[in-house]
Amino acid sequence: MTEEIIIAGFGGQGVLSMGKILAYSGIMQNKEVSWFPSYGPEMRGGTANVTVILSDTRISSPVLHHYDTAIILNQQSLDKFEKSVKPGGILLYDPNGIVHEPARKDIKIYKIEGTRLAAESGNPKTFNMIVLGAYLKLKPVIELDSIEKGLKKSLPERHHKSIPGNIEAIRVGQENVESILVL
């Protein structure tokens, strides 16, 4: 199994940390992982993206231009990465702020109303975990148990009390993902 993912959105949406949790959880399942971020000025308030690879075998290139899954959290990223999804691959997006819907017909398209659900839950910070939940529903490459372990290892101890809330957010995401285009 090799899963090649791009996660893209605004800086501050938790793009990089979502990727980090996914990668750390992969390690908990003895997978090979890589996490390569966009870095530099675009981090600060602009767009942010990260390439995450999970694999059962040694990972060759950590830098990719075609992905099995694209997790898209704003319009700029949709414009930039829709074309990068491999035919038959998955595009998962949050419709918040999206004015031009994805148009490809050769990929599976799903949406998760992460922004709305997070706001309704009263904890907007769980936004990225809701989106992660939606992804895991579509691609159950990582078990929830590993996510919990991954969070424990990647978060400083003072944040451990937030782990149950994060796990709950993942469940919310798993339950609310909607299919837009099925091949």
Partner 1 sequence: MGDVRLMKGNEVIAEAAIRCGCDGYFGYPITPQSEVLETLAIRRPWEETGMVVLQAESETASINMLYGAASTGKKVMTSSSSPGISLMAEGISYLAGAELPCLIVNVQRGGPGLGTIQPSQADYFQTCKGGGHGDYKLIVLAPASVQEMYDFVELGFELAFKYKNPAIILSDGVIGQMMEKVELGEYKPRWTAEQIQEISGSWACLGKAGRERHISTSLELDPYGMEKNNLRFQAKYREMEAKEVRYEMFDCEDAEYILVAFGSSARICQKTVEIARSKGLKVGLLRPITLFPFPTPIIRELAGTVKGFLSVEMNAGQMVEDVRLAVNGKVPVEHFGRYGGVIHTPEEVFDALKQKLIGE
Residues that bind partner 1 (CB under 8 A): 20, 23-24, 27, 32-37, 39-40, 59-65, 153-154
Q: Among 167, 175, 113, 179, which Cα is nearest to 142's? A: 167
Q: Which is nearer to partner 1, 4 or 113 (CB)?
A: 4
Which H/E stretch holds residue 133? Answer: helix 127-138
Phi, psi (rounded to 5 degrees) for 143: -80, 150
Q: Which is nearer to partner 1, 63 or 99 (CB)?
A: 63
Q: Which is nearer to partner 1, 143 or 175 (CB)?
A: 143
Q: State the first-to-last Cα distance of the chain, in angstroms, to the nearest integer.
A: 21
CB of 172 to partner 1, least distance (A): 25
3-state secondary structure labels for all residues of 113-131? CHHHHHHHHCCHHHHHHHH
CB of 88 to partner 1, least distance (A): 17
CB of 68 to partner 1, least distance (A): 14
Q: Which is nearer to partner 1, 32 or 168 (CB)?
A: 32
CB of 8 to partner 1, least distance (A): 16
Q: Which two tokens stand for residue 173?
A: 């995401």
